[in-house]
Every structure is written in structure tokens, then in C-alpha cells.
Amino acid sequence: MPLPPQGQVEVKFGFIDKSCSISRPPKNKLPLNDFSYRPLFATLSVNNILTVFGYLLGEARIAICSKNYSLLTPVTEAFLSLIFPFVWQGAYIPVMPSSMTDILDAPVPFLVGLHSRYLKMNPQDQRPRGVIFVDLDNDIVHLGFDDDTPHKRVTPRLPEREAGKLKSKLDEYGRLAYLPSDKHVPGTIMTGNGEILPNHMREEYAKGEAEDSTQASNKSSRREHGGRSSGEEGGGRKKRHGSLGTVRRIGDARDATLGKSDLAFPNNEHLLPIDTFATEQGMVLKKGKQREGLSSEGIRSGYGDEGRNGLAEKLNFSILDTANNEQGNMFSAKEIRGAFLRFFVSIFRHYDKHVNGADSGKPFNRDNFMKESSHLNSECHEWMNGCLGTQMFERFIEERITNSMQPEIQFFNESIIQKLNR
């Protein structure tokens, strides 16, 4: 079946018991992405998402790790979609077999997905030094070391004003999807030697919940209550156990939700009775009201009409379901993608002035672009120069010169014009 034109035609077709449609977004909208963004925001805190995003734009070597294989592809796809208008040019293996881990030693940019057993089997000092490992199970980013120096990595210096606005939007439309862990502080970042990177050594956008401030608060609380914390006062051991129980329940909820993503029927959908049957002659419907608790085949299902309806309502949510990308102010993939687009529009607003012709030996005048980008704070210039030297930026400029009518390039340029005309 041929693809319909962008934004003009919707192709509809049907089966016996359902109808389907195929459509593509118009040329003046972001490209189609038919996957869920919830796994990314459920597993990683906003500050860790932005940290990985910053290194992705510098074409670092990144390995996404999880014990749930089904989370690897949507998370890696989400990261790649967020770098629009650029297209990843490095190696990309969303689910990499354990037999291919030699790729981690390759001196080229890559984005791969791995089972998290790799992190357990290979201690920090035995992993490739220049690879950034992202632990989805525990919301930890292991930065490793710089490829060219023996120094430990720190969080990338994104443009301060633009990164602040981006983080604010992600907090508004994505943060509520996050599932906290009972094992680590949300947004944990580890250095190359396995130490936690403290907040005072991070960029503003990358600051997470400070573990040291939490501990200081607990100590202060104990001093105020005569050496006991407020949870221990009066209740003694029972309240302390109650607090631990709450923490465990939080961690259990995260593990249970993420664990369901690997199941074919995460919410026991197979228990729903079959009401209709499709045959070559047409649709066979259930005739009359059956005895409660019996399916149309007469096999006891455990659900009557009321039970069936109640269970069906509970099956509406799945972390992998694209239908849950939009939930009003609670979660919105559209707003999230729009926020990343505005980030790029802001920092590259003057790029088109410095694109040279196809015959020029220098397709893009980087020095003049940086001089004109006075709206960017000086601390981020090193990171910006790194982005301008990547393969994906060079490919973007090449496409701009040779195929300027490409819908994605036109849309990005029109977005810049719209911003400048405000």
C-alpha cells in the first residue's frame, strides 16, 4: 500500500471487526514518530535526560542499559527523535546482543542498547573508558572519561538560558511520568571512577535531588527530637518500619510497571472473554444474554458483563502504548518535542546566513556564526563548537545546500523565521 501524501490524504481500510487508517503529518509539522515517549520519562529523570541529550549532540559513545529489552528501542528512538532537525550518523543498534559487545571498544560514535547484566558483570574499571552507560533500571548515568584526555567527564555545558527553558517545559509535561526508585536518588550521575557527581559540580539543568542535603535534613531532625528522627518519635520501631515499607512499595511499583513492558499481555488481556468471531462468512456475534461468567464458547472466564467492563477499563494504560503519549497537562509528547525544537531554533537562529555555496571549500562559516551568536553565554561555546564539528551537523548543512526544498529543512527554517518575526 503506497504512503499517502503528507497531511493531505488519509487512507482508510477495514477488516471484518475493525477499521484502520493511515495518515502522515503535514509538511509544517514535526515528522511522524509512532512510538511511546513514556519509557524515556518513566525511567530517567529530566536532568539525566538532558545530560545524555547533550552528549548525544556531541556524538559521544552511548550505551543504554536495561533488564527489560522492550524498553531499549523506545528509549533510543525517543533520544534520536529529540535531536531533530539533525539525523544521527553514528552506529545505531537499539538492541545489541551480548555477543557483539566488542563494538563498545570501537572509536566511533554509537548509540546502542544493552541488557543491564553487562553493568553487573563488568565493574566500572573494566568497562571502556570513553563510553557513557545509561542505567534505565536505576536512573543512573555513568559518564566515564573523556576520549582524548584522562580526565573524568562532567555534565555538558549547554547554553544556559535555552537549557533552563527546555528543562522547565520537560518538568511541566514529562516529569509526572517518572517512576522513582528506592535504590538511588533520582538523577544520579556517576563519574569515571564510580563516585557520585555532586550538584555543585554539575550544570544548572543537570542538578538532581541532593543526597547530602537529605542526609543533613535527617540529622537536623534527629537533633531536634533528642537524637531520634520525627518518624521514630513516639512510634519507635513501628514507624521506622512503616517508612521502609513505603520506600519498598515505591521501588516495587517501578519494577512492576517496567517489568510489564516485556509481557505479551501486561494487564492480563488474555482473560477478557471473546465476544465476536470473524469468519469468511462475516462476523459472528454473541446472541442473547449469556449466563454470567461464561464466554461465548461456554468456557468459564471468571468475568461476567460487569467484570468484563471493569477489566476493560483497567487495560487502557500501557507504558508502551502510543495512545498514552497525550494525557493533557500530565504528559504530552507533542509539547516535549516542541520544547526540543524551540531549543534548536533558538541556538541556531542565524545559521542560514553562514551557509556557503556547494562549490565552496567551506560549506559553513563556523567562526562568523559563533561571533553572531551573542545570545549564547560564553561558557557554552566549547560545547557549541563540538556540535558544529559533528557528522550530523555537516550532513544537515550538506542537505541544506543540495536539497533545500526537503520538508524537514523547510519546516526548521520556517520555525526560525517565525521566532525572529515575533
- 114, 160: one domain: yes
Residue 172: predicted pLDDT: 94
In a domain, 275, yes or no: no
- 6, 148: one domain: no
- 169, 202: one domain: yes
- 42, 108: one domain: yes
Band (251; pLDDT cuts 50, 70, 90): low
Q: Angle at the Cα of 32 (from 29 to 38), degrees rounded to 5?
A: 110
Separation CA 206–CA 154 (nearest Å): 10
More confident residue, 418 or 299: 418
Would you say residue 282 has pLDDT above 70? no
Q: Answer yes or no: are the C-beta atoms of 291 and 244 closer than 8 Å.
A: no
Q: Answer yes or no: are the C-beta atoms of 156 and 167 closer than 8 Å.
A: no
Residues in the chain: 422
Ramachandran angles phi, psi of 175, nearest 5°:
-65, -30
- 95, 159: one domain: yes
Q: What is the pLDDT of residues 317-374, one digit of tens each?
A: 678 888 888 888 789 999 999 999 999 999 999 999 999 876 677 899 999 999 999 8
Which are the contacts of 239, defined by CB distance < 8 A and separation ≥ 6?
231, 232, 233
- Mean predicted confidence (pLDDT) in 189-197: 89
- The CB density around residue 250, as the number of other CB atoms within 10 Å, is 14
Would you say residue 221 has pLDDT above 80? no
Return the C-alpha cell found at 92: 545505531
Residue 294: predicted pLDDT: 37
To the nearest whole number, what is the mean pLDDT of the chain?
80
Q: What is the pLDDT of residues 32-58, one digit of tens each?
A: 788 899 999 999 999 999 999 999 999
Most confident of the following: 228-237, 246-255, 381-390: 381-390
In a domain, 4, yes or no: yes
The DSSP output letter for 210 is -
132 forms beta bridges with 62
Would you say residue 240 has pLDDT above 50? no
In a domain, 225, yes or no: no
Amino acid at 227: G
More confident residue, 56 or 24: 56
Would you say residue 405 has pLDDT above 70? yes
- 16, 44: one domain: no
User: 130 lies in which domain range?
Assistant: 38-206
End position of a domain, from candidates 206, 226, 248: 206
- 86, 178: one domain: yes
The candidate with the shortest Cα–Cα distance to 254, out of 177, 179, 176, is 179
The candidate with the shortest Cα–Cα distance to 413, out of 371, 331, 365, 352, is 352
Residue 217: predicted pLDDT: 36
* Domain CATH code at residue 86: 3.40.50.11500
- 176, 77: one domain: yes
Band (156; pLDDT cuts 50, 70, 90): very high
End position of a domain, from candidates 206, 230, 263: 206
Q: What is the pTM of this model?
A: 0.81
Return the C-alpha cell found at 203: 550544570
Q: What is the pLDDT of residues 371-384, one digit of tens each?
A: 999 899 999 999 99
- 50, 2: one domain: no
- 55, 194: one domain: yes
In a domain, 396, yes or no: yes
Residue 243: predicted pLDDT: 47
Return the C-alpha cell found at 90: 553514528
Would you say residue 223 has pLDDT above 50? no
Band (220; pLDDT cuts 50, 70, 90): very low
Q: Look-up: residue for cell 545559521? A: 351
Residue 29: predicted pLDDT: 77
Q: Answer yes or no: are the C-beta atoms of 86 and 393 closer than 8 Å.
A: yes
Residue 323: predicted pLDDT: 84
- 342, 201: one domain: no
More confident residue, 185 or 282: 185
N-term to C-term CA, the chain? 42
Q: At what angle do helices 391-402 and 407-420 cross, to 10 degrees?
A: 90
In a domain, 201, yes or no: yes
E strand or H helix at 345, and its extent? Answer: helix 333-347
Residue 124: predicted pLDDT: 85
Q: Answer yes or no: are the C-beta atoms of 182 and 250 closer than 8 Å.
A: yes
276 forms beta bridges with 285
- The CB density around residue 56, as the number of other CB atoms within 10 Å, is 23
Residue 148: predicted pLDDT: 67
In a domain, 53, yes or no: yes
Share of the chain above pLDDT 70, in %: 77
Separation CA 37–CA 79 (nearest Å): 9
End position of a domain, from candidates 180, 206, 232: 206
Separation CA 133–CA 90 (nearest Å): 16
Band (235; pLDDT cuts 50, 70, 90): very low
Separation CA 393–CA 354 (nearest Å): 13
- Mean predicted confidence (pLDDT) in 155-176: 94
Q: Angle at the Cα of 264 (from 295 to 139), degrees rounded to 5?
A: 140
Give CA separation, 64 vs 2, 45, 50, 68, 91, in Å: 34, 14, 14, 11, 13
In a domain, 246, yes or no: no
Q: Count structural domains, the chain.
A: 3
Residue 136: predicted pLDDT: 95
More confident residue, 412 or 211: 412
Q: What is the pLDDT of residues 84-128, one digit of tens each?
A: 999 999 999 999 999 999 999 999 999 999 999 999 999 888 889
- 106, 9: one domain: no
